Structure 1
Amino acid sequence: MTDNRIELADAVQAVRDELITAAARSTGHDLAFEVGDIELEFDVELRKETKGGTKVKAWVVEAGADGSAGTTRAHRVTVTLQALDRRTGQPWKVRGDSRGSVGRFGGGDDGR
């Protein structure tokens, strides 16, 4: 079996990294988005591993993927996250540093 499984923690980290990338790309734009609740839904495989001590791991699986030799079962897990600015405790924003404006909103190709 090729091990192309993704740990649940890595899947959540990937979403966090993408939000940080979105914030970095927004520099210089006037429009800001407040990040609301983030709902992630995964089909996971729970597997008990005894190598190096006993622990249970949650792996994200593809829809319709079979467990190896019937020893695992897929479970649906929904995780709701709230993105907060660690410094302020306020909702996190994907934004640039400049103040927003609607001056050009709805304008034609000539910028008016």
Structure 2
Amino acid sequence: MSDFSEIELSTAVRAIREQLVQAALDGTGAPIRFEVGPIQMDFAVELRREAGAKGGVKAWVLSAEAEARASRATTHRVSFTLTPKDAATGGPVEVGEPEAGGTSRFGAGR
């Protein structure tokens, strides 16, 4: 695709998973960890039939600008909730920050 404002729906979900994995790895041994709750995802998608032997229908996530350009007949709203689970334990995923937190920078931008 030449328009970088559109990505496959599977790529968007994969990016969320990779970020959660990285956050969990970054938080290994952290004094404070957070349990990841359900993740609500809401996208405007365009369904396209791909040509070729392995053709099929793919969903492309649209940016707000691309959605405005697309016709109403070709765009759809897709919403779903993901509940992350630890693959080894089946329990909830936890993320954390490896560095201890502090309050020294609170209010610094004012």
Q: Same fold (TM over 0.5)?
A: yes
Question: Could you tell me how far apart the structure 1 residues matched to 2:103 and 2:13 are?
Answer: 40
SS in 1 for 2:22: helix
Contact 2:24 2:93 in 1 (8 A): no
SS in 1 for 2:59: strand
Deviation at 1:73, TM superposition (A): 1.3
Match of 1:85 in 2: 86
Match of 1:14 in 2: 15
Match of 2:107 in 1: none
Q: 1:55 to 1:25 in 2, by over 3 A?
A: same
Give matches, 1:59-74, under 5 Å.
59-65=60-66, 66-67=69-70, 73-74=74-75
Rg larger in 1 or in 2?
1
- Tell me, which stretches of 5 or more residues in structure 2 are unaligned? 105-110
Deviation at 1:30, TM superposition (A): 0.6
- Tell me, which stretches of 5 or more residues in structure 1 are unaligned? 98-103
Q: 1:96 to 1:81 in 2, by over 3 A?
A: same
Q: 1:53 to 1:28 in 2, by over 3 A?
A: closer
Q: Which TM-score applies when normalising by structure 2?
A: 0.74
Q: 1:40 to 1:108 in 2, by over 3 A?
A: closer
Q: Which TM-score applies when normalising by structure 1?
A: 0.73
SS in 1 for 2:64: coil
SS in 2 for 1:78: strand
Count of aligned residue pairs for this structure pair: 100
Is 1:2 aligned with 2:6? no
